[in-house]
A and B are shown apart, each in its own frame.
Chain A
Amino acid sequence: MKSNRCKVGSLLILITCLIFLPGCGGKREVEDLTPLLSIGFDLGQKPNTYLITGQYLLQKKGPAGPEIEGWTTSFEAPTLREAYEKTNKIMDIEPFNGSTKLIVIGDGLAKAGFKDMLDFLQRFSEFRRSMYLVIAKGTAQSILDVELRNGEIPAMSIKKNIETANNISTFPTIRLGQYLTILGRKSTAPIIPMVAILKSGEGGIEYKTEGQGGKQEIQLEGAAVFRGDRLVDLLTDKETKGYMWLENNVTHRFIDTLGMGESKVNFSGHVLKSTTKYKVVDNNGKIELHYQIKTTMAVEEVLGQDEQLSETEWADLMSEAEKSLAKAIQKECELSIQKEKQLSLDFLGIGRHIEQKNPAYWKTVKDQWEQEIADFPVSIDVQVTINHTGMSNSSPTTK
């Protein structure tokens, strides 16, 4: 009887708790929140301060219903929390960090080291380790403040560009979690893609500008190499593409043989599938790393072909195309390896490959790996298979 009374009493207390307690502390209504899309970090003017830029998504009433627009503000503060405090002082709704997709770091801060600015982002549970990291050519503020020609919010545009990067596989996609994992490996130098404002006339692009400081474009190209959290050097577009091949990060790519000087006929191919494997080989007592890249392509352009070819001649030409395209890939890879040796920084993760395949040898070199990398032998074997050449064989000819 007594036990039954206790049970009923406990049940009543539980029911009361269920009704009154959930969400009673720190509750936040969705309509009172504004999603933070991106955070940008630059060096501040004052010592030990940072210029912290937040890009939010604001909802406003439009003639055809609710519309969204970006709201970007920068604060100079020594910590991220102080920047938040300043944001709260001017905003009538509360920022929500769980929606943050992008972290932009200005190249000035990247050179000085940005570890401290990431601490809050990896510590506070609202943020996710799946946020993308990019390095801004110039300041992060200028990237997030830019007015894009397509009217998009810069953070959204960069995020979409990153998420569709597999279509061209020309730059790596690095998330906060991946960066921290690579940092934990010690032997591998982190690499982060670069983002830059592209003015008309730069980088081979031209567009109609609307007055001074008018709408512009943003481009993701190249990458920055780090020692820990400090930017050491930049990779060119070709060097970054080489990194993508060697890291087995190529899903689809467009590549051509122009400038190779192999023959008067040039080809441009569309990578349909690519796999990169590596082997650590013992060559007469000398340990080497051997990459093997196998790529399937479709040839989509044949340039400089002036004569009609028979089927056999066309097949021979495609064999030649396979060799030329393989050389083009090899050249990109060699540029990347050359850069790695020149910097003595293992952004290709060669040390990790050796550790995985030959841990006993790795133990003998790991302590002086940065010195070893400059002379470490690396070889590449590229095999290209052309699946088809589109809707026609020979090109239109004038002769």
Chain B
Amino acid sequence: MTLGAAVLMGTTFLPIATIVTEVSGRDGWMSILPGFAIGIPYGLMVLSLVEQYPHKNLLQISETLFGKWIGKIVGILYILIAGYFGGLLLAQIGDIYQRTTMPLTPIWVFYWGTILLVFYLAISGIEVFARFSEVIFPLIVFALLVNIGLSIPQMEQGELLPILSEGLKPLLWGGIKVLPFAMEFILFLAGILTFLPTSKQDVGQLRTGVWRAVFLVGILDMLVCLIQILVFGPAETNRLVYGFLALGNMVEVSKTVAGVGSLFMGVWLGAGVIKVSAFFFMVTWGLETVFGFKGAKWKLVVCVVFLGIAFGFLRGHLLISEIAFVDNHLILPFASVWIPTLWGVSRWKKGPDVQ
């Protein structure tokens, strides 16, 4: 559950308020939890395939159900999307740090620092990555709650009102904007299936884990968005690139402790490393499944690709629009079509035995 929640959360708390207020205005916070909740049926579909095809990931299952070539094409798409998006997320870590706390530090320091950590986690294996997430994720949750709590005195009166003045339609657009975050997690789940236990009891626990992870992250991200709207108002929330970091900078405790935003930055790096690592693992699983490439040598190649993409996006404004593009136009359609199709075909092929 913790690994799932950590991957699902990633650095979503940084752009989420900007994204939802753009389309849903001051009601944007209400679209976050339903948006994440769409991930639950997808997660359940993926887990239902575990029982049917134990110790196989969705790429292997795709080859079994769709045939070798279609399966390979799906696998290549999976690798390309995960590799490109992972590189963009690595670039985003550099962008976040340069914009907010260390404008003069060379950007390669952030790229190299992060990729070394990611590489170490990747060669150590999924168990070490899971343990790393178990240690870091509670810190992320704690830092988020502290940041939210300390921002309460800065709230403006009545910024949330009126509620639903534009009806439910803007919430639908907000939910659609949140959906790619859930789909990123589903793609990770599609790859990690090989390592998941397959007994009925374990799968039941995994299902509960998916519910819990989605609700935990959905509620946390909703709180993050809520506090930003309450402090900045919807127009400013939408205008700020990383509003939550600006909020951290505004924190004041009894007029003595101020500008503690940079203290939180270390924790946010942990969140970034988890997300980049998740996509790194996805690429390595894809390479292993589709082409049979495995070992440290190929992981080094993935590092080089990630770094290459990151260095190709040194312009922060282009990076942000590219991340949004990949989320909305690649990850969302790919995952939302692939998973239900695979699940549907597996049910169809299973035939009348299905209960």
A residues near B (Cβ < 8 Å) are: 2-3, 6-7, 10-11, 13-14, 17, 21, 24-26, 98, 125, 128-130, 163, 177-178, 180-181, 183-186, 248, 352, 355-357, 359-360, 362-363
Contact = CB atoms under 8 A, between A and B. Distances in A.
Interface of B: 99-106, 109, 112-113, 116-117, 119-120, 123-124, 154, 156-159, 161-162, 165, 231-236, 239, 245-246, 249-250, 252, 255, 258-259, 295-296
Contacts, number: 94
B162 A21 contact: no
Given A21-B109, A128-B249, A355 B162 contact: yes
A160 B258 CA distance: 16
Given A125-B100, A125-B101, A11 B120 contact: yes
Contact of B250 (A11, A128, A352): A128
A255 to B, nearest CB: 23
Contacts of A180: 232, 236
A128 B120 contact: no
Nearest to A126: B103
A24 B250 contact: no
Contacts of B102: 25-26
Majority secondary structure, A binding face? helix
Contact of A26 (B104, B113, B162, B235): B104
Contact of A125 (B99, B120, B258): B99
B180 to A, nearest CB: 27
Contact of A21 (B113, B157, B252, B259): B113
Given A128-B259, A177-B154, A355-B162, A184 B116 contact: no
Return the 7 tightest CB-CB contacts between A and B, nearest first: A26-B104, A184-B235, A25-B105, A359-B165, A356-B161, A359-B162, A181-B233
Given A125-B99, A130-B252, A14 B116 contact: yes
A25 B109 contact: yes
Nearest to A131: B250
Given A25-B104, A128-B249, A184-B239, A7 B232 contact: no
- The CB with the most chain B CB atoms within 10 A, among A177, A180, A248, is that of A177
Nearest to B107: A25
Contacts of A129: 246, 249-250
A178 B156 contact: yes
Contact of A184 (B101, B106, B161, B233): B233
Contacts of A6: 123, 296
Contacts of A24: 105, 109
Contacts of A362: 162, 165
Contacts of A128: 249-250, 258-259
B232 A181 contact: yes
Nearest to B99: A125
Nearest to B125: A3
11 contacts: A17-B116, A21-B113, A24-B109, A26-B104, A26-B105, A125-B103, A163-B255, A185-B235, A356-B161, A362-B165, A363-B165
Contact of B259 (A14, A98, A181, A352): A98
A98 B235 CA distance: 25
Majority secondary structure, B binding face? helix
Given A10-B119, A183-B235, 10 more contacts: A25-B105, A25-B106, A26-B102, A26-B103, A125-B245, A177-B154, A177-B236, A180-B236, A355-B161, A357-B162
A13 B113 CA distance: 10
A181 B117 contact: no
Nearest to B104: A26
Nearest to A101: B258
A185 B162 CA distance: 13
Contact of B154 (A3, A25, A130): A130
Contact of B113 (A2, A7, A17): A17
Contacts of A356: 158, 161-162
A362 B162 CA distance: 11
A361 B233 CA distance: 21
Contacts of A7: 120, 123-124
Contact of A130 (B117, B124, B158, B258): B258
Contact of B232 (A13, A177, A359): A177
Contacts of A355: 161-162, 165
A359 B253 CA distance: 36
B288 to A, nearest CB: 15
Nearest to B102: A26
Contact of A3 (B105, B123, B233): B123
A245 to B, nearest CB: 15
B165 A177 contact: no
A248 B103 CA distance: 41
B317 to A, nearest CB: 13
B113 to A, nearest CB: 6
A238 to B, nearest CB: 24
Nearest to B128: A7
Nearest to A186: B235
Contacts of B249: 125, 128-129
A49 B245 CA distance: 32
Contacts of B250: 128-130, 177
B103 A14 contact: no
A13 B235 CA distance: 45
A192 to B, nearest CB: 16
Contact of A10 (B103, B112, B120): B120
Nearest to A178: B156
A351 to B, nearest CB: 12
Nearest to A21: B109
Contacts of B116: 10, 13-14, 17
A29 to B, nearest CB: 14
Contacts of A2: 295-296
Contacts of A360: 165
A355 B26 CA distance: 12
Given A6-B123, A356-B158, A177 B231 contact: yes
A343 B250 CA distance: 33
A396 B268 CA distance: 67
A307 B158 CA distance: 50
A25 B259 CA distance: 21
B234 A184 contact: yes
Contacts of A11: 120
Nearest to A18: B113
Contacts of B162: 355-357, 359, 362
Contact of B156 (A10, A181, A183, A357): A181
Contacts of B296: 2-3, 6
A184 B156 CA distance: 13
